[in-house]
Amino acid sequence: MRHTEILRVRKQVVAVELALGNMPSRLVEVFLAAQEIQQYRRQQLLELLEHGTPFLPVRDSTAEQWEIMNRDLILWIRVPPTSFPAAGEGTDELFDIRQKVRVELTFGEPLQGELLYSAEESLTRVTDYMNQQGRFFRMWKDEDLYFVHKPFVTRLIEEN
């Protein structure tokens, strides 16, 4: 057995689309620590974005090359449902509030989707949701989940 094989840590590969700064979005693979319980992988990805190291290793899916990306410059990450093939992933989440929105960013095209969240009765406005702690917020567009980086949001417009 080679020494490098001993040091390997099991990881789960997660295919996502990522927008970084003013560059076009592209498909990359992000690596999460392997877990027995697959139910929490979306939350694990969000935790990596919120509290992970400043530079994230990713693999460009098209060019098949390794890169290290500055987490602070990520505009958004789109997570298709196929990235988490575990049966029942996210289906047990129930939300009290559903609001269609248009998100305008400092770079790139606006995003449209829905905010789904639950809140205390006195904190149900979209403003309250956006002012919660955390650098990223979750937004859904069809079956895709987006983690959107708040510092790059210039306007969020509620739609009917």
Whether residues 72 and 30 fall in one domain: yes
Whether residues 102 and 55 fall in one domain: no
Give the tokens for residue 70: 């500055």
Which domain, by its residues, includes 78?
Answer: 11-83
46 found inside a domain: yes
38 found inside a domain: yes
Give the tokens for residue 1: 């057995």
Q: What residues pair up with 158 in beta bridges, in sequence order?
A: 101
CB atoms within 10 A of CB 137: 20
Whether residues 74 and 102 fall in one domain: no
Whether residues 65 and 103 fall in one domain: no
Q: Are 28 and 60 in contact (CB under 8 A)?
A: yes
Tally of domains in the chain: 2
The string of pLDDT tens digits covering residues 71-80 is 999 999 999 9
Whether residues 17 and 68 fall in one domain: yes
Q: List C-alpha distances in Å: 86 to 17, 38, 42, 53, 99.
A: 19, 6, 11, 26, 27
Question: Residue 24's pLDDT band (boundaries 50, 70, 90)?
Answer: very high
CB burial class (10 A; 0-12, 13-18, 19+) of residue 86? exposed
Rg, C-alpha atoms of the chain? 17
As a whole number of angstroms, the distance between CA 54 and CA 144 comes to 25
Q: Tell me what pLDDT residue 88 has.
A: 45
Q: Tell me what pLDDT residue 123 has.
A: 87
The string of pLDDT tens digits covering residues 31-49 is 887 765 455 678 889 999 9
48 found inside a domain: yes
> For 40-69, what is the mean pLDDT?
89
As a whole number of angstroms, the distance between CA 102 and CA 110 comes to 7
CATH number of the domain where residue 77 is located: 2.30.30
90 found inside a domain: no
